[in-house]
Amino acid sequence: MSALNPVRSTKSLDRIWSRGKEFLGSELPIMCGAMTWISDPDLVSLMSNLGAFGVLAAGNMPPEMFADYIDQTRKLTDRPFGGNVITIAPNYQAHLDILCEKKVGHIVFAGSLPRGSEVKQAKESGAKVLCFASTSSIAKRMISYGADGLILEGSEAGGHIGHVSTIVLLQEILFNFPEVPIFVAGGIATGRMITHLTLMGAAGAQMGTRFVLAEECNTHQKFKEVFIRARAREAISTPQYSTKLPVVSVRALNNHAMTHFGELQFELLEKMKKGELSRQDAQFKVEEYWVGSLRNAAVDGDVEHGSLMAGQSVGILNKVQPLREILQDLVDEAGQGLAEVQQRLGA
């Protein structure tokens, strides 16, 4: 269990951060997005111990490994954390069952849309449920299923993404569903932005790319060095070449892995045409590719051929820092942003 003192909000920020803090049970309304091979027990527990909110990434890891991840995290923190499940992963149902059996306090559905029965299963375990929403119709459906909160993620984000920018989704979703807490993700790297999002009604923010550059993040040094050198426009999204093989776009830094993914799609489409592969199996092959290539880069350091999943906010980042320092910077920046707004309003 942790003996660390968390980074704390301020009284001024609490006025606009209280809803997110209460929902997460954390000192700060800041979620660390679940990143496969990156959001491990070490990062997740430290995130929660320092006052933010960590989320374990299931990816498509073996179920017994995911169960062990939860146990390891609980040994390292007594603070709330969440578990993220990928609805299109072959091990998805097993991962969901494990989160429910182990009564993890927050369950995040990602990848595609969960069924109503799956949201019900999560809620019956006692968990608070968060679902991603990329359109107003999806937001309505997830709320009707019983989602306790939403994550609005714009296309600027890294990893699996939708096709609409954060600024449009703010207007389509954030402004129209005040009944549930909404956490905003995609392109966020500063505390000032978190202030402005919460002033617009957001409960808080989810970030991933900035936390890759935490000293304690267990990614390869070469992976971090590429992030530091990268420009925002170099974080590009993958295309879909045919509606016969629907793929969830992935945003990553452009390298050989992106080129290989295009070649893989053509290979899979040809096998589908010949009847050698079903669409579902082809989609599984796509996910296996991304999980494997991300490990090659993030864990093994192959930054030429492994996937460098990163959001466009990578262009704002320029150094590796201790996680406590990153979180304190976010709070300080948020406070400065709030003071600037108050000054403009003459408050």
Q: What is the mean pLDDT of the chain?
A: 95
35's tokens: 């990143």
Alpha carbon 256 to chain centroid, angstroms = 24
Give the integer Cα–Cα distance in Å for 255 and 308: 8
Q: How far is CA 266 from CA 165, 244, 271, in A?
A: 28, 11, 9
Give the integer Cα–Cα distance in Å for 296 and 291: 9
Q: What pLDDT sits at residue 166?
A: 96
Alpha carbon 268 to chain centroid, angstroms = 28
The long-range contacts involving 271-279, CB below 8 angstroms and separated by at least 24 positions, are 272/244, 272/245, 279/244, 279/245, 279/246
Q: What pLDDT sits at residue 60?
A: 86
| pLDDT (tens digit per residue) in 154-196 | 999 999 888 899 999 999 999 999 999 999 999 999 999 999 9
Residue type, 137: S
**pTM value?**
0.94
Q: What pLDDT sits at residue 50?
A: 98
Q: What pLDDT sits at residue 247?
A: 82
What are the structural domain ranges in the chain?
11-217+316-339, 221-298
- Top-tier CATH class for 11-217+316-339: alpha beta
Q: How far is CA 76 from CA 40, 53, 135, 259, in A?
A: 12, 14, 37, 40
**∠201-203-204 over CA atoms, to 5°?**
115
Give the integer Cα–Cα distance in Å for 269 and 272: 5
- Residue holding tokens 């466009």? 312
Q: What pLDDT sits at residue 127?
A: 98
Positions in the chain whose pLDDT score sits under 50? none
Q: What pLDDT sits at residue 28?
A: 98
